[in-house]
Amino acid sequence: MSNPLDLLFLGSGNAFASGRYWSSFLLNGRYLFDASPVALPHLKQSGVQLEEIESIFISHFHADHFFGLPFLLLEYAEHTVRTKELKIVGPPTIEERLRTITEAGFPNIFQKKRRYTETYVELKDGFEGEVDGLKYVARSVTHVPDFGCFGFRVETGGRTLAYSGDSVLCDALFELADGTDVFVVECSCWEGGCGPHLGPDDIRELRRRLGPKPTFILTHLDVGYQDLGIENTLVADDFARFSL
């Protein structure tokens, strides 16, 4: 029998949402998808064993998805004893960008004596890999032209999950989510235009083309959220937990 997918949402809002923190989530207590600026305190508030996080997947470099990583590296340098290798998977230049923002805010972290190492994986469209028992494929999605933006499809324990990252409606989303058990999908645009993001009509089209499976979990929400009445669709909140 397959094991459930356990998800903890550390935040569920987009960059501007009032009353929600920035969206990121932890899968099975081991795999972190995006690292918002509040990821570290929310991991602590949720009782997560920080040393058990094995891999971090960054969808793109916008600050609400990426700027929490320096705080996590500071935690490992100063407080939480970590001995396991930390794998960080993200768009091209992930290591360079992370080192730049970390050293700008917390100089000398990378010079401190540490008991673990970091390994970086730079993505490209269609890249496939495996980290710590999690098989994954990354697809380029359509968000902004400033840097690479990716969605993910992952498999662990006989279950599959897709994550849209930030994107407008594009073929890659259907390919990532088709046949999965769970689709964590952004839905930012509730009150008119909000830039290159998905909105309610896009979620309806995703459901129409994907069918009743997978279970959708909507995140990266704006202040204007309302029930869409779409079958098999859940809505994330800050600190929400799902076992599916």
The per-residue pLDDT of the chain, averaged, comes to 95
- Over residues 164-195, the pLDDT tens digits come to 999 999 999 999 999 999 999 999 987 767 78
Q: Residue 33 falls within a domain, yes or no? A: yes
Q: Where are the alpha helices (DSSP H) in 146-210?
A: 171-177, 200-210
Q: Residue 172 falls within a domain, yes or no? A: yes
- Show the domain range for 141: 6-236
Which is nearest to 10 in space by CA: 150, 223, 220, 227? 220
Q: Residue 12 falls within a domain, yes or no? A: yes
CA atoms of 134 and 126, how far apart (whole Å): 16
Tell me how far CA of residue 91 lies from CA of 37, 59, 196, 211, in angstroms: 19, 7, 18, 30
CB atoms near residue 101 (< 10 Å) = 15
- Over residues 84-136, the pLDDT tens digits come to 999 999 999 999 999 999 999 999 899 888 899 999 999 999 999 999 999 99
Domain total of the chain:
1
Q: Residue 1 falls within a domain, yes or no? A: no
pLDDT of 17 reads 80
Q: Residue 107 falls within a domain, yes or no? A: yes
Q: Residue 241 falls within a domain, yes or no? A: no
The model's pTM is: 0.96
Q: Residue 60 falls within a domain, yes or no? A: yes
Q: Residue 162 falls within a domain, yes or no? A: yes
CATH number, domain of 100, equals: 3.60.15.10
